[in-house]
């Protein structure tokens, strides 16, 4: 069974082709095209690359195309893409302006180009469907909540991969299986005692920290939009809501300009004044730049804030995991984040930490009660696995109007008849 995972940006298309034949799980091909002004042409290039590489006999050999979609109004989980799902994504365009519009446009092109191939969305919000309500609510008036103002959480595919992989590495196959089956049974697969508690730190161009208990998320740093939580490359992260009316009045900024500055000129870029990339910042900090040092220090402080929050909520953890571009590569930042935590049983091994780049490793001391791990991100594999599960299973998670309890509304259906019934 061959599944293509398409990662659609406003001017790019990246893809990975997986083969799940004969019980194996193989990455057959990965590629991408940048600076495209036309998704239709990008899709042709993708299919041509797959064909010429001999990875695809015929286009109809594709069992599905999977998409790591970000968010949609009242829809989450892993679902077959229908017009209703696309309309639900469109309804949240303003919350994910950099992601939803290009995804919708790209998916429509795939629909036209590959009409017989099932298109499947795994929403980045899916991993948080089972988090406790108290961890996901904002203290806003009921009308705001009904309008959709709540925490959704993002980077779900990445954190789910960490939930699965960390459990495997820590020898807890029961928890790994529970995490794998999360969207099939809503976390009802039993796990052995004691529970496995993990904090997953996805630190990259966009960052979030998620608390995970026995393979299921209990909360995350990102909220209503991907603009929240930790400071991002050029997006603000958490901000007191009063700051917005205040700068509108005192600096005379319009809503659109405030939004532009918070999403384009804030985060690490706003703090440093010159770069949104931690590689530049680390180099500049080394050369004495105070603003670069500050940007990195704010990122580390915010990561510690969220790690601390989930450490407390989970009553301690067995492991803290670093993943994504910064988490995998920036040993200095990992050191800054884990500094002075020995009283909590968290002790980094400086040599192991420094030697680890973009590879799976334990970077804590042998005596550290809490293991600190680096696990390279593998979000596309999660999308492909969930798409496969949806194809193979008769348990089709249907889109639901009740986001919080999405799973309980799922109906058993055959794949062919899967559609929105609410």
Choices 203-211, 295-303, 307-315, 365-373 (CB under 6 A): range interacting with ligand AMP:
203-211
Structural tokens at position 343: 């009283």
Our finding on whether 296 is near ligand AMP (CB under 6 A) is no
Among 284, 324, 348, 390, binds ligand AMP (CB under 6 A): 324
Choices 61-69, 114-122, 319-327, 364-372 (CB under 6 A): range interacting with ligand AMP:
319-327
Closest distance to ligand AMP from the beta carbon of 317 (Å): 23
Backbone angles phi, psi at 85, to 5 degrees: -65, -45
Helix 255-264 and helix 243-250, axial crossing angle in degrees, nearest 10: 120
Our finding on whether 277 is near ligand AMP (CB under 6 A) is yes
Closest distance to ligand AMP from the beta carbon of 333 (Å): 9
- Say how many residues touch ligand AMP, by CB under 6 A: 12
Closest distance to ligand AMP from the beta carbon of 366 (Å): 27
CA distance 233 to 228: 12
Among 9, 32, 148, 205, binds ligand AMP (CB under 6 A): 205
Among 153, 325, 376, 399, binds ligand AMP (CB under 6 A): 325
Contacts of 315 (CB under 8 A, 6+ apart): 197
* Closest C-alpha to 158, from 328, 26, 23: 328
Choices 60-68, 138-146, 220-228, 276-284 (CB under 6 A): range interacting with ligand AMP:
276-284
Helix (H, G, I), strand (E, B) or coil at 172: coil
Angle at 414 between CA 411 and CA 418, to 5 degrees: 70
> For ligand AMP, which residue has the nearest CB?
325
Angle at 85 between CA 79 and CA 89, to 5 degrees: 115
CB contact at 8 A, 258 and 247: yes
Choices 49-57, 204-212, 294-302, 342-350 (CB under 6 A): range interacting with ligand AMP:
204-212
Question: Is the CB of 332 or the CB of 393 nearer to ligand AMP?
Answer: 332
Question: Is the CB of 202 or the CB of 371 nearer to ligand AMP?
Answer: 202
Closest distance to ligand AMP from the beta carbon of 275 (Å): 9
Angle at 210 between CA 206 and CA 215, to 5 degrees: 130
Residue with tokens 């931690």: 278
CA distance 207 to 326: 9
Question: Is the CB of 154 or the CB of 407 nearer to ligand AMP?
Answer: 154
Tally Cβ neighbours within 10 Å of residue 140.
13
Is residue 18 within a helix (H) or strand (E), and if so which, with residue range? Answer: strand 13-19
Among 210, 278, 302, 353, binds ligand AMP (CB under 6 A): 278
Our finding on whether 97 is near ligand AMP (CB under 6 A) is no
Structural tokens at position 311: 């450490």
Closest distance to ligand AMP from the beta carbon of 158 (Å): 9
* Closest C-alpha to 233, from 273, 280, 268: 268
Question: Is the CB of 32 or the CB of 205 nearer to ligand AMP?
Answer: 205
Our finding on whether 267 is near ligand AMP (CB under 6 A) is no
Our finding on whether 330 is near ligand AMP (CB under 6 A) is yes
DSSP bridge partners of 26: 19
Our finding on whether 329 is near ligand AMP (CB under 6 A) is yes
The full DSSP string for 185-216 is: HSS-S--PSSPPEEEEEE-SSS-EEEEEETTE
- The pattern of x and - marking residues 224 through 263 that bind ligand AMP according to CB under 6 A reads ---------x------------------------------
User: What one-character DSSP code corresponds to residue 195?
Assistant: P
Our finding on whether 7 is near ligand AMP (CB under 6 A) is no
Half-sphere exposure (Cβ direction) of 241: Cα atoms closer than 13 Å = 4
Tally Cβ neighbours within 10 Å of residue 173.
12
Choices 9-17, 137-145, 272-280, 295-303 (CB under 6 A): range interacting with ligand AMP:
272-280
Our finding on whether 204 is near ligand AMP (CB under 6 A) is yes
Structural tokens at position 149: 């103002």
Footprint on this chain of ligand AMP (rule: CB under 6 A): 204-206, 233, 277-279, 324-326, 329-330
């Amino acid at each position: 069974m061959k599944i293509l995972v398409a990662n659609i940006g406003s001017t790019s298309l990246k893809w990975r082709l997986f083969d799940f034949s004969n019980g194996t799980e193989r990455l057959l091909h990965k590629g991408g095209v940048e600076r495209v002004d036309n998704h239709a042409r990008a899709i042709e290039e993708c299919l041509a690359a797959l064909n010429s590489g001999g990875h695809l006999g015929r286009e109809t050999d594709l069992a599905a195309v999977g998409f790591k979609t970000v968010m949609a109004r009242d829809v989450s989980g892993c679902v077959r893409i229908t017009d209703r799902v696309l309309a639900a994504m469109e309804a949240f365009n303003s919350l994910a302006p950099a992601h939803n519009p290009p995804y919708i446009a790209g998916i429509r092109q795939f629909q036209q180009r590959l009409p017989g191939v099932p298109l499947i969305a795994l929403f980045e919000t899916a991993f948080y469907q089972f988090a406790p309500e108290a961890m996901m609510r904002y203290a806003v008036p009921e009308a705001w909540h009904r309008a959709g103002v709540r925490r959704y959480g993002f980077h779900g595919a990445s954190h789910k991969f960490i939930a699965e992989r960390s459990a495997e590495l820590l020898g807890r196959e029961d928890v790994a299986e529970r995490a794998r089956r999360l969207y099939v049974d809503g976390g009802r697969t039993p796990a052995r005692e004691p529970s496995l508690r993990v904090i997953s730190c996805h630190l990259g161009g966009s960052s979030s920290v998620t608390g995970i208990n026995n393979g299921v998320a209990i909360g995350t740093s990102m909220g209503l939009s991907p603009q929240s939580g930790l400071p991002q490359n050029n997006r603000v992260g958490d901000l007191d809501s009063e700051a917005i009316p205040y700068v509108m009045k005192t600096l005379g900024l319009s809503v659109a300009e405030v939004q532009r500055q918070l999403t384009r000129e804030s985060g690490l870029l706003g703090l440093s004044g010159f770069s949104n990339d931690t590689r530049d910042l680390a180099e500049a900090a080394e050369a004495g730049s105070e603003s670069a040092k500050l940007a990195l220090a704010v990122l580390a402080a915010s990561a510690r804030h969220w790690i601390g929050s989930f450490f407390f909520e989970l009553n301690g953890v067995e492991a803290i995991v670093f993943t994504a571009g910064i988490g995998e590569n920036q040993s200095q930042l990992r050191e800054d984040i884990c500094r002075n935590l020995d009283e909590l049983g968290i002790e980094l091994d400086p040599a192991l930490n420094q030697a680890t780049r973009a590879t799976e490793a334990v970077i804590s001391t042998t005596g550290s009660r809490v293991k600190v791990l680096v696990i390279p991100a593998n979000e596309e594999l999660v999308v492909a696995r969930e798409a496969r599960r949806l194809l193979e299973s008769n348990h089709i998670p249907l889109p639901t109007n009740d986001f919080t309890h999405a799973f309980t509304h799922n109906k058993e259906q055959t794949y062919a008849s899967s559609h929105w019934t609410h």
